[in-house]
Structure 1
């Protein structure tokens, strides 16, 4: 069960997720696709941190982002959006290395898909953190 301190941390993670998402959407509109994709990835990770912290009281911070999707799925349990959230976060983090360290630029189609995934995760985080859903 999350304490008041943990709920405050969850709200901070959510705020970061919303800021990254807003930046991702602005960059997408400005046709800066690689930056939009990077912001979407960070929005998704922060949304995961918000959800998991709110539901469990803590979140794992580590370099293995693949474990983040499993952590998210466990925290969401039997909720109807658990499988979709896990899949979305997996897609986001699987692109992290290419976006941040690769030499290729992101396409509009790929960036749009990543921003959609991030938007979905942030919406779930809003329901869990702000609406206690």
Structure 2
């Protein structure tokens, strides 16, 4: 069970996730597909941080993104959404390098599903953080 301070950290991660997700939606609507994809990735990461922090008390920080999805899955345990959430985060993280460091621009067809995946993770984080798990 998370302490009051850890719950506050989780709420801050959730706020960041919500802001990135809102920016992703706005960028998608404006045809700014690369920023929409980037914001989606960051929304998903922040949503993971919120979920893991509120459920376990802390979240790992690092550059090994494969462990981030596993960490999310472990924190969600036997919840029916665990596999879907892990897959959504994996799919977001799989394109992080291309979106942030690659030379190709992101198309609307590629950005739209990323925004949806991020939204699903933010919705899950909202449910878990705000409703107490």
The answer for the alignment partner of 1:109 in structure 2 is: 109
The answer for the alignment partner of 1:26 in structure 2 is: 26
> Deviation of residue 105 (structure 1)?
0.5
Aligned pairs for 1:1-133 (under 5 A) are 1-133=1-133
Given the two structures, how large is their TM-score scaled by the length of structure 2? 0.99
Q: Deviations over 1:4-33 (max 9, x none)?
A: 000000000000000000000000000000
Q: Secondary structure at the match of 1:60?
A: coil
Cα RMSD (Å):
0.5
Q: Secondary structure at the match of 2:117?
A: helix
Which consecutive residues of structure 2, in runs of 5 or more, have no partner in the other structure? none
Q: Residues of 1 paired with 2:67 and 2:99: CA distance?
A: 19
> Deviation of residue 65 (structure 1)?
1.2
> Deviation of residue 132 (structure 1)?
1.5
Q: Residues of 2 paired with 1:120 and 1:66: CA distance?
A: 19
Q: Deviations over 1:63-115 (max 9, x none)?
A: 11111000000000010110000000000001000000000011111100000
Q: Residues of 2 paired with 1:46 and 1:111: CA distance?
A: 18
Count of residues in correspondence between the two structures = 133
Which consecutive residues of structure 1, in runs of 5 or more, have no partner in the other structure? none
Q: Residues of 1 paired with 2:109 and 2:85: CA distance?
A: 20
| Runs of at least 4 residues off by over 6 Å | none
Q: Deviations over 1:14-62 (max 9, x none)?
A: 0000000000000000000010000000000000000000000000000
